[in-house]
Structure 1
């Protein structure tokens, strides 16, 4: 670095032009009278005394009286320490600015638009690893490796993990053994798709697929907005694609976090005369407090019952099917499009009958967080005891 660059750097560190010129010249001279220093540095004689006084206050020089006012540079370590401290602060500021540019703190806003895919996946890995109730993730088979440990942590936490692998063809599907203790259920979509993670009904991490012309991502920390992404995942990234792994091995799920999935699998048993005992955990709509009940599923209400043309144009409450015999034991489950409106399960705990709704419920007694099947007695009398829920 030449002397001119040193001067400019000192100015960047807070010295004035005259102060930087005088200090650099004094370093070369060792000591000098004020007038000699003015001549050597180019500082006007009328200003040199003020400049020396300011440098002395900063600790860069000391002055003393001889035949005239003289000055010498102090041990440069103090000045160098000051410069290094400023440099460290500049580096820290640069790193913080870069960090904020890459990943604005999601807890400060409901929605953040970020510029890099990596920012989205970094946030998603963190959210998935801390999931407590449910995870819905759409990722490429290659990206699955990055999420493996986070998904395993979520599964260990007791979260229901739904994983969709997206890719061009079947060649990229991961071996089913890799999903054990990592995912609850896995499906494969043999088409490109955006990256999406929906966690615990509040956190969404979204980015276009890698071939997109624009690189950006969306981070959401909001209950209502995440519900929109939940439906996108359910309809476009999950429902219509082939299953490649299911830890239930054909049994009813021990735990459900989706009221619609619960209806589709349990309603045929109830409608055919079987009994399903459950533990419901959720939020009481009356006071917003957590609530847990144990009871027996008695019936269902859903707005999409078909086959009754007289009901066309009626409201959801008017068309709701209580105890519908559609979808009996052995029949196909109710299609998801018929469950886009109101879906309610009724559970009798022996003292009263509770109405249980799903995500965002506003008509029922309880908004469901999780419903655990504790026992099933099928219409043929076969009784299956499930593990007691925590």
Structure 2
């Protein structure tokens, strides 16, 4: 089979809270009738991102075409999870015309791209492109490097230099693998910050990769799909900090769940989350809350202490109105203190 006969797949990567799920949701809602499917990989035990996508109600991507993988990073569980998930979608009576794969915010995309060379799927699918979503405001605030220019100079002198901050390695590996970089949340940056972040990104990526600015992940699917990169055949152009390693782990990160009781109003909860994020350096928090008297569930998403909330869909008949939040941070989070600070509302 030629590459043109293969089902194209877009890998959507990006750091925690960059806006990957919002971008995927926008593609689903503006897919112009194309049959789409989604594989979404969660970090943690609660499928928040999959639930967000399933609430779209988009005809061309029904719930049976949204597959959630929560048994670990898909680049680490290729044989057990990822390949069977792809095969199940391809075996549908009306197989998808394009598959979107949303990685967890802690995933390294290159091992996933390599998986497309597995014999079981190599003749059936191709990586149309790797799309890296960047939280521009977070990067402008310096969450990944204190002095990017000094770090770049040090790397140029010593290719074997170690990185003190594992978050930076994850972030850079996502950029280095990308065919398109989406600079999201541009509305939260000044013109000077947008230019500086774009310049720093281009300094990291050694090849010509387009950087596109947006707000709220709003981009025409024509910009994102149909890149025709065949990335699985272009691995040498995608260097990684982890090249040569047999595998990688996520021991540098903690994730846990905080149960939330029903609330009279969300404001108090949001204040407590923001304070806890500042006090305990929480990287990402996401989940749902039950607001008494409201027929819809409240979706809460946060990057650090920057929070967003909206009512995303009605509680289904018979569905337990259980509020739950997933908390993600670097190793050593004080789970008891955070749970007490957030859950005692």
Q: Aligning the two structures, in what range does the TM-score lie when normalised by the shorter sequence? A: under 0.3
Larger Rg: 1
More helix by share: 1
Structure with the bigger RCO (C-alpha within 8 Å, sep 6+) is 2
Give me the TM-score of the superposition, normalised by structure 1.
0.23
Give me the TM-score of the superposition, normalised by structure 2.
0.25
